[in-house]
Amino acid sequence: MFWIDDLWKFGISAFVGTLTVFVPLLDTRTEALDPIPVVVTIPILKDLAEQVGGPYVRVTSLLSGYENEHTYSPKPSDLIAVRKARLLFEIGLGLEVWISSLVRNAGSQALRVVTTSQGVELIQDDADTHEHPHTGKHTTDPEGNPHIWLDPANALIMLRHITDALIEVDPSHEAKFKANEAAYRERLRQLQKELSDRTQRLPDRRFIAHHSAWPYLAKRFDFHIVGTIHLQAGTEPSALHLQSLIEKIRKEHIRVIASEIQLSQRLPELLSRETTARVVVLTTMPGGVPGTETYLDMLRYNVLQLVGALETT
Ligand SMILES: [Zn+2]
């Protein structure tokens, strides 16, 4: 134990003096090497931030992929994560109704909130529902449907916001972030082309949606959403609405109901039993279904599930 000898030799005060000089130096050094602490609301944003940021970010997603994004209630650990974060990536558009109070309660001066839906061309929900399906507000609300990430072209806009924010916080890795963004952009473009090829020759493109999550995906890949079970997120549809869906499915020979793993399967299964339409289970979030851990895997999974069901009708 030579250091005890040293301690005796130099005396306690000398030892403490050495420590106090040494510790701040160590601190500064660790800070410079630390990845940027990032919090995101939903897993797609975690995947995109990690694609661009690589080892230079440490990303926490508040939702894991199994929850309903509209009715989520934050945990105490979420508040801690937001308090420690330098960047927070959200979708916006009223999707994460629970995030503003979380940010307010965290009270962090260093935190920057980035709304990744900025600049996305929005799709308005059907006016005949009279109410905004996600917030309960009237459809005159300028905000559009918030499920923008289900169109890969929108994911690229989100990716750009994320890249810009990371560069702003950590300019020393600008070249790396830009190269990562370009590489991911190319992978996404290739997948979009592959999936567009698969959807081109479908004889029937119609499906009933579980909740209004799919207008962006439908527009991109030319699927036709002909009915929606939950017109308003988090509320039960009326018996009248269910009956009209059953009649529509029978009369128009609609063969596919696209349910979502994050919601109860009870109503899609009920509609399926009452008609001959089959249920395919999709996921609005990466990780919701095994094999959909990344955004690219989730996109491929959802489109191929729909294609598979529609091809066999
Ligand atoms: Zn939703």
Q: Are residues 58 and 24 in the same domain?
A: no
**Gap from CA of 213 to ligand 1 centroid (Å):** 5
- Among 160, 175, 195, which residue terminates a domain? 195
Give the model's pLDDT for residue 142. Answer: 60
Q: Are residues 202 and 268 in the same domain?
A: yes
**Gap from CA of 97 to ligand 1 centroid (Å):** 12
Q: Which residues of 108-124 are buried (b: 16+ CB within 10 A; e: fewer)?
A: eeebebbebbeebebee
Give the model's pLDDT for residue 20. Answer: 44
**Gap from CA of 284 to ligand 1 centroid (Å):** 8
**Gap from CA of 167 to ligand 1 centroid (Å):** 30
Residue 77 CA: distances (Å) to CA of 80, 114, 246, 264:
5, 21, 43, 26
**Gap from CA of 69 to ligand 1 centroid (Å):** 6
CB 212 within 8 A of CB 133: yes
CATH code (residue 274) = 3.40.50.1980
**Gap from CA of 56 to ligand 1 centroid (Å):** 31
Give the model's pLDDT for residue 232. Answer: 81
Q: Are residues 19 and 37 in the same domain?
A: no
Region of 222 on the Ramachandran plot (φ > 0 left; ψ -120 to 50 alpha; else beta): left
DSSP 35: P
**Gap from CA of 209 to ligand 1 centroid (Å):** 11
CB 91 within 8 A of CB 148: yes
Tell me how crowded residue 94 is: count the other CB atoms within 10 A of its CB.
17
Q: How many folded domains does the chain comprise?
A: 3
Q: What is the pLDDT of residues 85-114, one digit of tens each?
A: 999 999 999 999 999 999 999 999 999 999
The pLDDT > 70 percentage for the chain reads 84
| pLDDT average per 10 residues of sequence, the chain (313 residues) | 44 44 44 85 98 98 91 94 98 94 95 98 71 45 86 98 98 98 98 96 96 97 97 87 98 97 96 97 96 97 97 80
Distance of alpha carbon 123 from its chain centroid, rounded?
A: 18
Give residue 61's domain range. 33-195
